[in-house]
């Protein structure tokens, strides 16, 4: 009897590079994006049968800067508490002691961030711009009326993600967000310079600094 030939469909299956402790999420090698702190890989939710974003931080890189780790932990804790159609969803998180990485699984937006999407599609109508703006404002309204109030502080087109097939945008990257008390005042100078409201430089501001982004967004049409 001749040896059994492997099923060609099995040969074509792309293997996971790693799997989360529960066995639910798998990570592929494809890199969706990278920043100074974390890398974002294409992932898959085997239980729900959907694409996800696998965010990974190599903790060894920041052993001398605990503020970075604290900021990431704050982002995860914040995402856990937020449930809104216009905010990126957090599904799971864990620390991998063997690889010395911090991992968290978030919703995947098929078309990436709004900055890259706009560069790819140069002809966008004012109607579409208004639709995106309304969705961003709904997300901000949720953050600003949350108890306690959340100020994003780094809202820009790289931190807004889009599912282009349905024209839906979502606010993400809350690593620089801050939670404020009843006064709604914050005092740290932080953010992306070209999108920072003037009062940020005075280090005494409220959630209205997030609204400043809307002005830049409309005036520049994210060119």
* Annotated catalytic residue within 20, 45, 154, 173: 173
Q: Which tokens in the block code for residue 46? A: 């085997």
The set of long-range contacts for 19-27, using a CB threshold of 8 Å and a minimum separation of 24, is: 20/92, 20/94, 20/103, 20/105, 21/94, 22/92, 24/92, 25/52, 25/54, 25/91, 25/92, 25/105, 27/54, 27/56
The residues with which 51 forms a beta bridge, in sequence order, are 44
Beta strands 50-58 and 39-45 are: antiparallel
Which residue, 170, 167, 151, 168, is CA-closest to 159? 170
Q: Which tokens in the block code for residue 33? A: 């994006």
CA 135 vs CA 126, 162, 168, 180, 217: distances in Å:
14, 11, 8, 23, 13
Kindly give the residue spans of alpha helices, DSSP state H, lying in 33-159: 66-81, 114-120, 126-145
Measured over the CA atoms of residue 126, residue 150, residue 203 and residue 176, the dihedral's sign is: negative
Q: Is 85 assigned a catalytic role? A: no
Catalytic (active-site) positions: 173
């Amino acid at each position: 009897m001749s040896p059994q030939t492997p099923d060609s469909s099995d040969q074509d299956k792309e293997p996971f590079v790693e799997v989360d402790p529960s066995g639910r999420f798998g990570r592929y090698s494809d890199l969706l994006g990278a920043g100074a702190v974390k890398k974002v890989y294409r992932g898959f939710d085997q239980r729900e049968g959907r694409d996800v974003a696998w965010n990974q931080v190599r903790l060894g890189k920041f052993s001398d800067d605990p503020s970075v780790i604290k900021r990431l932990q704050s982002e995860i804790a914040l995402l856990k508490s937020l449930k809104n159609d216009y905010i990126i969803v957090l599904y799971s998180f864990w620390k991998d002691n063997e690889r010395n990485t911090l991992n968290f699984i978030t919703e995947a937006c098929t078309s990436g961030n709004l900055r890259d999407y706009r560069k790819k599609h140069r002809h966008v109508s004012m109607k579409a711009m208004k639709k995106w703006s309304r969705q961003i404002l709904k997300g901000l309204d949720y953050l600003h009326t949350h108890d306690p109030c959340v100020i994003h502080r780094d809202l820009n087109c790289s931190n807004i993600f889009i599912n282009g097939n349905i024209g839906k945008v979502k606010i993400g990257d809350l690593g620089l967000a801050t939670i404020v008390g009843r006064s709604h005042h914050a005092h740290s100078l932080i953010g992306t310079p070209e999108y920072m409201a003037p009062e940020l430089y005075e280090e005494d501001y409220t959630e209205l600094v997030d609204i400043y982004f809307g002005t830049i967004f409309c005036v520049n049409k994210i060119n």
